[in-house]
Amino acid sequence: MKTNVFKIAVLTSGGDAPGMNAAIRSVVRTAVSLELDVVGIMHGYEGLLNGEFVKLTASSVANIIQRGGTILKTSRSERFKTEEGLDLAYEQLLKEGVNGLITIGGDGTFRGADQLAKRHKFQIIGVPGTIDNDMVGTDVTIGYDTAINTVMEAVDKIRDTAESHDRLFFVETMGRDAGLIALRSGIAIGAEAILMPETHTDINGLVEKLKNAKRKKSSKIILVAEGEKAGGAFEIAKKVTEKVSGYDARVTVLGHIQRGGSPSCMDRVNASRLGYEAVHAIVKRQHGVMVGIVNKEIVYTPFERATKHIQKLNVDLLSMLEVLSL
């Protein structure tokens, strides 16, 4: 099908996430199949400001579906957020002859995309790519599934040590504003507790739980999401161990291992689907929306809503954890 959109650009922005390459591959191959020209922009919005365009063909994205990170590289650009930055970005896109942009990233990426789309009426489609899974308008973001599996594998290893030494571990997971990584992986590793920004953390309650455990356990693991309001894992560990004795406690901050690695099957499939649908959304003249998957169906959500962090937490999962961690 020949369309009158003739050149699209794709970039990745914000934190890298496993599956971004699968999404880039999908965007490029779908565009090629529709006879659209496609260029990549290196280093996210910062690269856009610097005019870092690279021609992409079906061959440029060969053998990347299984690779973590992003071949287009990424950045967090402060310059892009300014009025001058938005104007320069628009000029660069016009100079390159681009008339549709696909941005792959998280909430910061879409806030930037929203500003550019509104200020210059530019056609932009977003693909949700962040390990945090904190977007409204999609059940999953690219990278989340791989990240929770990475956490699960890492904490399974920590559990071996915790069991061997009869220790209490506080493990910090990523998620600046959301505890969804901690929630899913915590259930999967049989955590004794999960602390996250979406729920109120009662340190005294946690202390009581540890003091009055219903049965003796040789190891205990508490997952602390990075965004937890009561503090990071070190701080929580201090607050708890000051009030309860008899625990040989340790803290592990998992950090950036959660962002790397080969994407899971689920992430590769979702990324392929979202990339494909993003190109089709451009052709259908959609603009200013993120393409997401809700109940297995493709949905479009305006950027300003996608970035609102108003996802409802499934509190039933936390009640279940309470029962299962008895």
Task: Single out the residue of 8, 10, 11, 15 in contact with ligand F6P (rule: CB under 6 A).
Answer: 15
Is position 177 annotated as part of the catalytic site?
Answer: no
3-class secondary structure for the chain?
CCCCCCEEEEEECCCCCCCHHHHHHHHHHHHHHCCCEEEEECCHHHHHHCCCEEECCCHHHCCCCCCCCCCCCCCCCCHHHCHHHHHHHHHHHHHCCCCEEEEEECHHHHHHHHHHHHHHCCCEEEEEECCCCCCCCCCCCECHHHHHHHHHHHHHHHHHHHHHHCEEEEEEECCCCCCHHHHHHHHHCCCCEEECCCCCCCHHHHHHHHHCCCCCCCCEEEEEECCCCCCCHHHHHHHHHHHCCCCEEEEEECHHHHCCCCCCHHHHHHHHHHHHHHHHHHHCCCCCEEEEEECCEEEEEEHHHHCCCCCCCCHHHHHHHHHHCC
**Residue 100 or 112: which CB sits closer to ligand F6P?**
112
Told to check if 175 binds ligand F6P by CB under 6 A, we report yes
Nearest distance, CB of residue 181 and ligand F6P, angstroms: 7
Nearest distance, CB of residue 1 and ligand F6P, angstroms: 36
Which of 114, 132, 145, 267 does the annotation list as catalytic?
132
**Residue 93 or 225: which CB sits closer to ligand F6P?**
225
Told to check if 192 binds ligand F6P by CB under 6 A, we report no
Nearest distance, CB of residue 76 and ligand F6P, angstroms: 6
Nearest distance, CB of residue 175 and ligand F6P, angstroms: 5
**Residue 51 or 231: which CB sits closer to ligand F6P?**
231
Nearest distance, CB of residue 225 and ligand F6P, angstroms: 9
How big is the site for ligand F6P, counted in residues (CB under 6 A)?
11
Told to check if 128 binds ligand F6P by CB under 6 A, we report no
What is the per-residue binding string for ligand F6P in 66-85, x denoting contact by CB under 6 A?
----------x---------
Task: Single out the residue of 115, 123, 130, 264 in contact with ligand F6P (rule: CB under 6 A).
Answer: 130
Residues that bind ligand F6P (CB under 6 A): 15, 76, 106, 130-132, 174-176, 226, 259
